[in-house]
Amino acid sequence: MAASMRLLFRRVIRLSHRNVNVTAAGAPGRPAGCWEPPSCRCFSEAAGDRSTHFGFETVPETEKAKRVYKVFENVAQKYDTMNDAMSLGVHRLWKDTLLHVMHPQPGVRLLDVAGGTGDIAFRFLEYVRFQQERQKRRAARLMQAPSWQDISNNYSTEEEDGPQESRAVVCDINKEMLRVGKQKADGLGISAGLSWVVGDAEELPFDDDQFDIYTIAFGIRNVTHIDQALQEALRVLKPGGRFMCLEFSKVTNPVLARLYDVYSFQMIPVLGEVIAGDWKSYQYLVESIRKFPDQEEFKGMIEDAGFYSAKYCNLTGGVVALHSGFKL
Amino acid sequence: MAALLRALRVGSALRGLGSVVSAPAAQPPCSSLTRGFHRAALRLQDESKADKPPSSSPSSTTYHEHYRAHSAEQEAAGAPQEHSASEPAAKEASRPNTSYQDQSGEQGEEYETEEQLQARILTAALEFIPLHGWTVEAIAAGAEMLGLSSASTGMFYNGAGDLVLHFVSQCNSQLTDILAEQHNQVQLGQAEPKKTAEFLRDAVETRLRMYIPYIETWPQAMSILLLPHNIPDSLKHLSTLVDDMWYYAGDRSTDMNWYTKRAALTGIYNTTELVMLQDSSPDFQDTWDFLDNRIQDVVNMATTAKQVQATGETVVQGLMGAAVTLKNLTGLNQRR
């Protein structure tokens, strides 16, 4: 017990001296307990096996997916609690903003990739349900004194096309996260119009032209080949469909950036250790945010994939960026 | 038509690079230029249909090659270098919309710009306004009619405001076309030139008649136009409308009259529009009578103003005379 506490303290002190801009040179003096030594395997693989970043480490591309899987397998149970703790609840506002910008019309189909615990899908279904109720109320207000003709029309057209058709599909590569999400859905009593699919963002198990809206919230930085994920998004979207991505990004304000860095590297792994008992996963989380391209670069990647009208807007001063593109 | 659209599309990409290509806005008399673009774009389209690029570099290099190949026969010799410098804009503009087209090979709308597509969606949405009002639902219905998902309404960040402003500018350009046509007729001697008052009356009536299909929901549209973030645009449309009307009425004034005339016509137009909203007479006859009366008022006021000025001068002269007479009577004017 005392030994582990001492280990914790040593880690904290080491990390507090670490420069934020450490590149993939590997973590200095990280205990080789759970992680396999990365740099040995980098260039000893067969030709064609490139390396990518896993946080500030460099790992072979084939490794990254496995390690990300393990990370999320470990954190799945406490994922939502940790989100609330780390962002002080602000992540709910970010996701609400995503829905408001999306403004889905009744009857659209949503694909939420890396949707894990299903936050976006739940909000989507609630939003659409609210819109439909509002429309029904508006229609009812207009029909305060229906004529016999109107009443007979209402009876003849019982099958309304819009309401029951909004469907959300939550797709995630990690079964644990989906399991937690399903439990949440059962707890909230949401079941209509919701499906849970296991799938890889780089190779979605869906046909072309299936979905109206594709969202990926805080998941795309974990994908090994981001451009492939974007290509897949383009493929499964219907013409006119919208790609929306919520992701951590570069803070524009320098003062806020400094505070954010201190908070990220000092507080978040500690929170991870205390609440979820997993320091390294949250260390990975914070590092992966730093490795993700910034707003303009990601917008360029979206345009390169073939989306039109690519735009982004910064939330919370650039901590989170909401990117959007259309398949036209 | 297709060639024109392609020219417009590629031309707008070049415009973004600041190069001096004459294709974009003007109807191209330089048909060789558009043919050059046509060929380059066709070949590009075939190539990228053949190999669906996960990496976009193949299509871009072919695009550059063809651009250089055709640079000799095009006036835009300076364009290719600038093109290679800024890839994404050019690629975005020139990549064919293979997803939006059915693969039967229709090339009609493949190279339109985003603005043109948005205009088409909004025009299609106008049909659904009696049903949904001036709302995003109408735009969604319009998009679905064109075969696009309703999620594409996200392109319109101003929502219903975009729809209303699009409709207003569409009506304005229709009016300008009609007035230009009448002007041509007069020039050719096929029609009699109208007097100013009558011309303005007819112009305002023509313009307001365009609202008749949407008159039920027009109050909603007007309220959208009055929202603070829409006011600059709606004022701009109103001022260009009034300016065009006066221009075709023959006004070439360069003094204070320019402002007073336009202010007067703006007042007439706005009040007539408001009357039209509440008019229930057959074919809006009350509205046109109101319009007649207002124009007559303005004409009368102009003549009255002249009369007042003349009278004023006369009165002043009379007073001067009276003053001199008095001075004479009292003997102050004498010189000893």
pLDDT in tens, A179-191: 999 999 999 888 8
Residues 6+ apart with CB under 8 A from A19: none
Point out the residue among A107, A234, A242 whose CB comes nearest to the CB of B152: A242
Point out the residues of chain B with pLDDT beneath 50. 10-11, 13-14, 16-108
Sort out which chain B residues have CB atoms less than 8 A from A324's CB and list them: 154
* Residue B145 touches partner A, C-beta closer than 8 Å: no
pLDDT at A197 exceeding the cut of 80: yes
Point out the residue among A102, A209, A303 whose CB comes nearest to the CB of B154: A102
Q: What distance in Å separates the CA atoms of residue B112 and residue B246, rounded to the nearest whole number?
A: 34
DSSP letter (8 states) at residue A82: H
Q: Which pLDDT value is given to residue A17?
A: 52
| Least confident stretch, A49-53, A144-148, A182-186, A207-211 | A144-148
What is the DSSP pairing of strand A320-326 with strand A308-315? antiparallel
Here the tokens at position A157 are: 């057209």
Rg (CA), chain B: 29
* Residue B56 touches partner A, C-beta closer than 8 Å: yes
Residues 6+ apart with CB under 8 A from B230: B158, B161, B164, B165, B224
Q: Which pLDDT value is given to residue A4?
A: 58
* Residue B189 touches partner A, C-beta closer than 8 Å: no
pLDDT at A157 exceeding the cut of 50: yes
**Burial track A76-96 (b if 16+ CB lie within 10 A, e otherwise):** bebbbebbebbbeeebeebbe
* Residue B16 touches partner A, C-beta closer than 8 Å: no
| Least confident stretch, A34-43, A58-67, B113-122, B307-316 | A34-43
Q: Which pLDDT value is given to residue B190?
A: 87
Q: Which pLDDT value is given to residue A71?
A: 86
Q: What distance in Å separates the CA atoms of residue B187 and residue B210, rounded to the nearest whole number?
A: 26
Q: Which pLDDT value is given to residue A34?
A: 42
pLDDT bucket at A3, cuts 50 / 70 / 90: low
Q: Which pLDDT value is given to residue B54?
A: 43
* Residue B149 touches partner A, C-beta closer than 8 Å: yes
Query: What amino acid occupies position B263?
Result: A
pLDDT in tens, A264-323: 999 999 988 888 888 888 898 899 999 899 999 999 999 999 999 999 999 988 899 999
Minimum Cα–Cα distance from B139: chain A residue: A105
**Burial track B80-117 (b if 16+ CB lie within 10 A, e otherwise):** beebeeebeebbbbbbbbebbbeeeeebeebbbbbeeb
Chain-chain contact of B151 with A104 (C-beta, under 8 angstroms): yes
What is the mean pLDDT of the segment spanning A109-115? 92
Q: Which pLDDT value is given to residue A192?
A: 83
Q: Which helix (H) or strand (E) holds B127?
A: none
Minimum Cα–Cα distance from A100: chain B residue: B154
Point out the residue among B97, B137, B153 whose CB comes nearest to the CB of A328: B97
Q: Is the dihedral of CA B199, B205, B208, B210 positive or negative?
A: negative
